[in-house]
Amino acid sequence: MRAARFHEYGGAESLMIEQAPDPHPGPGEIRVRVAAASVNPIDWKLRSGALRRLIPLDLPAIPGRDGAGVVDEIGDGVQGVSIGDRVFGLGGVTGATAELLILSAWAHTPATWNDEQAAGAGLASVTAMGGLNALGSLAGRTLLVEGAAGGVGSAAVEIAVAQGATVIGTASERNHDFLTSLGAVPTTYGPGLAQRLTTLAPHGVDIVLDTAASGLDDLVAIAGDAKRVATVADHAGGQRLGVHVVNAEADSTLLSAAAELGGRGRYTPRIERAYPLERIADAHAHAERGRTRGKIVICI
C-alpha cells in the first residue's frame, strides 16, 4: 500500500510517500480502504519526537490516529459490520495516512457526512464527548468552551448545543462568525475573560471545558469549583488543580453517538482544509501553526 511515513524524528519535511506493508486486522478489529484521514496535534508531536519518552514509536511510522473509508477486511469476532460498509473511527496512535488502516473502534458513517467530514469526526468527537460527559448533564446549563474553534472545540460546541446547553465559546475574533454558526455565543480568550462573561452570562457559567491549555487557573476561578471544569488539553495543570482530566479513548459507543447526532443534522465535523496525500508535509506544517478552524484532513 501507499503510505506517508517518517524514518526519523524531525520536521514535516521528514514525511515521504512510499510503499509500506499491508496491515491485517486482528480479533475485534476491521480494516478499511481509506478515503480520508485526520490530522491531529498528537500526529506532529509524535513525528517531531516531542513525545518520544512518553510514546516511543517503532520507526518508520505512519502518522495519523483516525480516518474514514470502506471496510475491506474483518477480524475474528467482529459483528455488526460488513465488507463495503462506510465507517469512520480510530486505530492506534499511528497508521491512518495510508491506503489501508486498521480500526479498533468505529461507527457507521451517516449519509449526511462526506468522506472528509467522517475523517474529521473520530478523535475530535470522542475527545469532546469524553470531556462533556465528565461534566454531567448539559441540559439547561451554561457551558464555556475554551478554544471553541478548533477541531475538538467545534465538535464540543455542536454536541453540547444538541444536548440542550447554552454554549459560550472563546476564539480569536476572526472565528466569531464561525462560532455563531455552530450555535455558540462567541467571545475572545485571554485577559478580561471573567469580566466579559459577566455580560454574556449574568447568572454565571455552570461548567467549563478546556480544549486549549491556555489558562486553566483562570477557568477554575470562573467556574468557582475545580470539579465543574474538565480539560482535554492540560493534563499537568488539571492534575495540579483537581479538575476532570480526560484522555481520548477508542470508544465505539462514543463514535456511534456522534454518528447518530450527525444523521440528525445536529453535528457536522467542520473541515478547514483538505490536502492530498502527496502534500501531507504541508498539512502537518499547517497544523503546527495552530489557530485552525475545525479540522485538517488528508485525502487518500
Q: How far apart are CA 89 and CA 103, in angstroms?
A: 6
pLDDT at 292 over 90: no
Contact yes or no for 91/102 (Cβ under 8 A): yes
pLDDT tier, 228 (very low <50, low <70, confident <90, very high otherwise) = very high
Contact yes or no for 32/68 (Cβ under 8 A): yes
Q: Where are the beta strands (DSSP E) in 1-61?
A: 2-5, 16-19, 30-39
**pLDDT tens figures, 137-171:** 999 999 999 999 999 999 999 999 999 999 999 99
- If one counts every other C-beta atom within 10 angstroms of the C-beta of residue 181, the result is 12
CB-based contacts of 295: which residues, under 8 Å, 6+ apart? 38, 39, 119, 120, 124, 151, 269, 270, 271, 272
pLDDT at 80 over 90: yes
Average pLDDT of the residues in 261-268: 96
pLDDT at 214 over 90: no
Average pLDDT of the residues in 256-279: 96
pLDDT at 24 over 90: yes
Q: How far apart are CA 106 and CA 108, in angstroms?
A: 7
Average pLDDT of every residue of the chain: 95
pLDDT at 31 over 90: yes
pLDDT at 290 over 80: no
Say what the pLDDT of residue 300 is. Answer: 95
pLDDT at 51 over 90: no
The DSSP element (H or E) to which 125 belongs, if any, is helix 122-134
pLDDT at 294 over 90: no
What is the strand order of the sheet 229-231 is part of? 185-187, 166-170, 142-146, 207-210, 229-231, 244-245
**Which of 25-29, 195-199, 211-215 shows the lowest mean pLDDT across its residues?**
211-215
